[in-house]
Amino acid sequence: MAQITLKGNPFETVGTLPAKSSEAPFFCLVKTDLSEAGPADFAGKRLVLNIFPSLDTPVCAASVRRFNQEVSALDGTVVLCISADLPFAHSRFCETEGLKNVVSLSVFRSPEFGINYGVTIANGPLKGLLSRAIVIIDADGIVRYTEQVPEIVEEPDYSAALKALKAIV
């Protein structure tokens, strides 16, 4: 389990993020059109998994906007914005914000995602939602970078994530 905080109050996740250099766990998540997407849909691409509790919070929304802006110029890279929000909320948010460089995915049919990636919040007021984390996967499906954001109301370390992403050949 990873210990994280919400405004200084501690709580835990169900496990830990996948180990660097390990094969990324399989996932099958729901896109905004209610179709499903998994690793095969992004074959040959570097993936940035931007995982967060809900688009309806300022920090989560900021991370989606930031990765939309920062990664759009990087060839061969896809940003997957993953939360327990329903696909309709993901669609509404991206349309309202004019975001076209990210793929929004919901875990509402796939609770095993949070367990396999160690990001389901196990206790506290956000129990059942996903913690804020970044996982970068190379084109071969190997985990190359992870960050479990320790304080849920803080943004991830964009500079470190982008540096790690750019280092993947």
Catalytic residue set? 60
Give the contacts of 112 (CB within 8 A, at least 6 positions apart).
none
> Is the separation of the CB atoms in 89 and 55 below 8 Å?
yes
> Is the separation of the CB atoms in 141 and 148 below 8 Å?
no
Give the contacts of 40 (CB within 8 A, at least 6 positions apart).
none
Torsion over CA of 134, 88, 61 and 24, rounded to 10 degrees?
Answer: 0
